[in-house]
Amino acid sequence: METRQGKSVFAGVAIGKLFIYKKAAQVVEKRAIEDPQEEIARYMAAKEKAAGQLALLKEKTLRDVGEAEAEIFEAHQMLLEDLDFVEGITGMIEQDKVNAEYAVFVTGEQCAAIFLSMDDDYMRGRAADINDISSRLIAILSGTQVSAEAMPEPVIILAEDLAPSETVQFEKDKILALVTQKGSANSHTAILARMMNIPCLVTADIDLDVSLNGKMGVVDGFTGQIHIEPDEVTLAVMQEKKKREEERKLLLQSMKGLPTETKSGKRVHLYANIGSEEDVDSVLENDSEGIGLFRSEFLYLGRDDYPTEEEQFTVYKNVISKMNGKKVIIRTLDIGADKQADYFNIPREENPAMGFRAIRICLERTDVFKTQLRAIFRASAYGTASIMFPMIISVDEVKKIKGIVEEVKAELTREDIPFGDVELGIMIETPAAVMIADLLAAEVDFFSIGTNDLTQYTLAIDRQNQSLDNIYDPHHEAVLRMIQRTIECAHEHGAWCGICGELGADMELTRRFLQMGIDELSVSPVFTLELRKKIRDAE
């Protein structure tokens, strides 16, 4: 047995025969030609054919893998048409009177060299994209097609590196794992492997010896190791590891579509936290029952002026429509503290975590607040929307908010713009809000506990201050009692209560939260299925 080490970019265990993948060596001949125009026409025809192949690959990837990966081939299409690349090739054919294959090869090398010389890993990785396009063009021009050899059975593929077009050409069900000598965690191969859910090692110190073809191998995506011709003990250990991993995956998959309820039949709403429109795909894929926290800050950050009502409306509408009737709780602007945008012109503060932020800004700058509320209400006509307000400390704030909400609704009604029935809730993330939770509960439909801020304010520990990490205890009894009191007050006044902070996904506390009577947990989509299982296993 031989064991080699690589860097794992996707966990899992694969056991099977090895397959050494080598590109058919492309020997590019330099030939003198008579008629440059004819040669350019030949190149143009090849370019068109390559564009067609790339369009097909893009479709296949979109179908088999995903949108983000399909964009790789769209980028290839653009590189293929790039004027510097095209003019470099046609110029060389005309001036040097050389064959198209050679002109493509030399120009491709030159373009790739520019990327290889850059001081940025990501950009250096793009040289592979250009090589991929050159190879494709040369293969078409010389009549040798690039294609993966037929593989009779599912195999572990060992290669120097894999171009994205090669990776997707393999039949998906014929690949057990990918192991490459080159590549990086950001390479296309790694991204594709993650999307295809197969173990993948990069920068592995493997030999690409064809004599390995057909020998047994084991890829351990947890440790980054590949065992070649494993001994019996290793094989048995790895088989067991693989079985356990598969059982765990199956178990989680089996949680899809099941109700989130305890053995005694207590239902909990299991929602997801998202920070942008793109996150909705993951929400649906992990079978979350709704969105419990849609952070709207991304609409305001990284720009130099306020987002318009129209811009916001489009994003909210898209998310609400995609959720198809499931609840979407949008949290209004929570800017300030560690999230700053220059155009808000917030004066420098000694202590921004306790400063001018979130609802405090909204109630002062009501025009900004109203723009956001109008956008949300308009979008609410397309599904089920709720709104929650951050950083509340008093009943007075809630009354002011409700007043502004009524104004917005009256305006929309006057303008004949439809809107849905929108629940209003508040974040409970200050000790003040916990202490008056009974009074607040009478004013709103729901509470959502923001445990990150609540912990920081309760313990008087700045969560950005790493030197205090040893005493920052999110399981502190004070925090848990705050949560308990909040839930009790909500229920006494007919409001429901959830948790959207990080603590919601802390499975050591799930049982305790259930005992407290929590109605909703909103967590990152990737935790959904595991948390559902945890809840279904509870009494």
Partner 1 sequence: MKEFKYVVQDELGLHARPAGLLVKEAAKFKSAITLDSGAKKADAKRIMAVMSMGVKQGVEVTVSIDGEDEDAAFEAIEAFFKANL
118 makes contact with partner 1 (CB under 8 A): yes
Q: Closer to partner 1 at the Cβ: 314 or 452? A: 314
111 makes contact with partner 1 (CB under 8 A): yes
Helix (H, G, I), strand (E, B) or coil at 57: helix
- The site for partner 1, by CB under 8 A, has a size of 23
Smallest gap from Cβ 281 to partner 1, in A, equals 17
Q: What's the rounded Cα separation, in Å, for the pair 199 and 193? A: 7
What are residue 475's phi and psi, to 5 degrees? -90, 10
Of the candidates 263, 303, 399, 481, which one interacts with partner 1 according to CB under 8 A? 303
55 makes contact with partner 1 (CB under 8 A): no
Encoded one letter per residue, x for contact with partner 1 by CB under 8 A and - for no contact, window 220-259 reads ----------------------------------------
Residue 125, number of CB atoms within 10 A of its CB: 18
120 makes contact with partner 1 (CB under 8 A): yes
The total number of residues written for the chain in this structure: 539
Of the candidates 24, 56, 114, 251, which one interacts with partner 1 according to CB under 8 A? 114
Q: Closer to partner 1 at the Cβ: 68 or 410? A: 68
Smallest gap from Cβ 308 to partner 1, in A, equals 11
Of the candidates 25, 27, 32, 119, which one interacts with partner 1 according to CB under 8 A? 119
Concerning whether 491 is annotated as a catalytic residue, the answer is: no
Residue 34, number of CB atoms within 10 A of its CB: 7
Residue 271, number of CB atoms within 10 A of its CB: 29
Q: What's the rounded Cα separation, in Å, for the pair 448 and 444? A: 11
Q: What's the rounded Cα separation, in Å, for the pair 227 and 13? A: 11
Smallest gap from Cβ 521 to partner 1, in A, equals 30
Smallest gap from Cβ 95 to partner 1, in A, equals 20
What's the maximum distance between 2 C-alpha atoms anywhere in the chain? 91
316 makes contact with partner 1 (CB under 8 A): no
Q: Closer to partner 1 at the Cβ: 111 or 427? A: 111
Q: What is the C-alpha radius of gyration for the chain, rounded to an integer number of angstroms?
A: 29
Query: Among 280, 271, 338, which residue's Cα sits nearest to residue 496?
Result: 271
Query: Among 309, 516, 501, which residue's Cα sits nearest to residue 388?
Result: 501
The DSSP line for 182-203 is: S--TTSHHHHHHHHHT--EEES
List the catalytic residue out of 111, 489, 497, 500: 500
Smallest gap from Cβ 126 to partner 1, in A, equals 6
Q: Closer to partner 1 at the Cβ: 222 or 343? A: 343
Residue 34 in contact with residue 22, Cβ under 8 Å?
no
Residue 329 in contact with residue 271, Cβ under 8 Å?
yes
Smallest gap from Cβ 83 to partner 1, in A, equals 5
Residue 28 in contact with residue 101, Cβ under 8 Å?
yes
Of the candidates 232, 304, 367, 421, which one interacts with partner 1 according to CB under 8 A? 304
Of the candidates 24, 41, 45, 123, which one interacts with partner 1 according to CB under 8 A? 123
Q: Closer to partner 1 at the Cβ: 68 or 507? A: 68
**Cα–Cα distances in Å, from 167 out to 157, 158, 198, 291, 534?**
10, 12, 12, 35, 37
Q: What's the rounded Cα separation, in Å, for the pair 290 and 270? A: 7
Q: Closer to partner 1 at the Cβ: 74 or 407? A: 74
Question: How far is CA 232 from its chain centroid?
Answer: 39
Q: Closer to partner 1 at the Cβ: 77 or 484? A: 77
Write out the two tokens for 390: 């951050």
Stretch that binds partner 1, among 122-130, 261-269, 281-289, 417-425 (CB under 8 A): 122-130
Stretch that binds partner 1, among 124-132, 229-237, 357-365, 368-376 (CB under 8 A): 124-132
Written as one letter, the residue type at 46 is A
Write out the two tokens for 316: 């909210």
Residue 422 in contact with residue 446, Cβ under 8 Å?
no
Query: Among 10, 64, 253, 74, which residue's Cα sits nearest to residue 174?
Result: 64
Smallest gap from Cβ 192 to partner 1, in A, equals 16
Stretch that binds partner 1, among 119-127, 378-386, 393-401, 454-462 (CB under 8 A): 119-127
- What's 312's DSSP letter? H
Smallest gap from Cβ 133 to partner 1, in A, equals 11
Smallest gap from Cβ 48 to partner 1, in A, equals 18
List the catalytic residue out of 188, 362, 489, 497: 188
Q: Closer to partner 1 at the Cβ: 299 or 412? A: 299
349 makes contact with partner 1 (CB under 8 A): no
422 makes contact with partner 1 (CB under 8 A): no
Of the candidates 105, 115, 382, 513, which one interacts with partner 1 according to CB under 8 A? 115
Of the candidates 143, 302, 347, 494, which one interacts with partner 1 according to CB under 8 A? 302
Q: Closer to partner 1 at the Cβ: 85 or 294? A: 85
Q: Closer to partner 1 at the Cβ: 71 or 473? A: 71
Written as one letter, the residue type at 531 is L
Query: Among 354, 525, 508, which residue's Cα sits nearest to residue 429?
Result: 354
Cα angle value 197/199/203 (rounded, 5°): 130
- Please give the residues from 66 up to 105 whose contact with partner 1 meets the rule CB under 8 A: 71, 74-75, 78-79, 82-85
Stretch that binds partner 1, among 115-123, 234-242, 328-336, 500-508 (CB under 8 A): 115-123
Query: Among 421, 453, 408, 413, which residue's Cα sits nearest to residue 434?
Result: 453
Residue 368 in contact with residue 333, Cβ under 8 Å?
yes
Concerning whether 476 is annotated as a catalytic residue, the answer is: no
Q: Which residues bind partner 1 (CB under 8 A)?
A: 71, 74-75, 78-79, 82-85, 111, 114-115, 118-120, 122-123, 126, 129-130, 302-304
| Residues marked as catalytic | 188, 500
